[in-house]
Structure 1
Amino acid sequence: MSEHEEVVKSIGDKMGFTPKILETLKDIDPHFVRKYNRCNEKILTDGAIEAKYKVLMALAVVASKQCEACTVSQMRSALNHGATKEEIMETMEVISITSGAPAVAACRDALKLLKD
């Protein structure tokens, strides 16, 4: 397995799924995937802050940018990292307060994952 494939596999293992963008980037420009390894090393790994909380922070950030696909990805990762419905809904409150209704609306499809 190449270094690029290992990075994609490692990120997929930690998130609980492999984001489609990583598969696409791996096919188009395998070297670009190395840049995503920072995500693997910093966000998806426990440090002074547990990975679960870093992923919830990432959820808030991508919601503030109103990226619907990103919110789904971060929600799936948060659930895979053990975030509870209560923790996610408190994060939604923070999103609402700090970024408003458009950011909450960007989470529409992501929130459907809580029903599964």
Structure 2
Amino acid sequence: MGKNYPDIIGSLTKPMRDLHQGMPKVMKGFGALADNAKASGVLDAKTKELIAMGISIALRCDGCIGFHTRGAIRHGASREEFMEMIGVAIMMGGGPSTVYGAYALEAFDQLTATAG
């Protein structure tokens, strides 16, 4: 499909750092929110990353797809689990989610290859 998710993640490093430097209180607050929301509780961290992925697909956010795919892989999500999540995202997001679901699968395959 032509998107390179390792590059997408990498290209966000400087702009995200700029956000942290330009509005440290906001970004520190967002970071704390994200850390607490993704921490294992009744739902484990892998499940939470898969939920975030479904939302990323439905909202069509390439950066989010990259970051949450990487998180799901780090927490042990299998390709089969990822495919099921994509199915739910398509149900919720309709036709555009079929396109971004394909991008998400591409991200999973790319980031799994680079993690190994």
In which range does the TM-score fall when normalised by the shorter chain?
0.7 to 0.9
1:25 counterpart residue number: 19
Pick closer, same or farther for the CA change 1:106–1:68 going to 2, 3 Å: farther
**1:11 matched residue in structure 2:** none
Are 1:114 and 2:108 counterparts?
A: yes
Q: How does 1:15-94 map to 2 (within 5 A)?
A: 20=13, 22-36=16-30, 37-43=32-38, 45-94=39-88
Cα RMSD, aligned residues only: 2.0
Q: Cα distance 1:48–1:94, how it changes in 2: closer, same or farther (>3 A)?
A: same
SS at match of 1:113: helix
* Distance change >3 Å, CA 114–CA 65, structure 1 → 2: closer
Runs of 5+ in structure 1 lacking a partner? 1-16
TM superposition score normalised by structure 1: 0.73
SS of alignment partner, residue 64 of structure 1: helix
- The higher relative CO (CA closer than 8 Å, separation ≥ 6) is in 2
Taking the aligned partners of 2:34 and 2:21, their CA distance within structure 1 comes to: 19
- Cross-structure match for 2:91: 97
Q: Percent identity?
A: 24
Asked whether the 8 Å contact 2:53–2:69 carries over to 1, the reply is yes
SS of structure 2 residue aligned to 1:106? helix
In the TM superposition, residue 34 of structure 1 has moved relative to its aligned partner by: 2.0
Count of residues in Structure 1 that have an aligned counterpart in Structure 2? 98
Runs of 4+ in 1 over 4 A off after TM superposition: none
Amino acid at match of 2:29: K
Instruction: Report deviation, 1:108.
Output: 4.1
Structure 2 letter corresponding to 1:41: N
Which structure has more helix as a fraction of its residues? 2
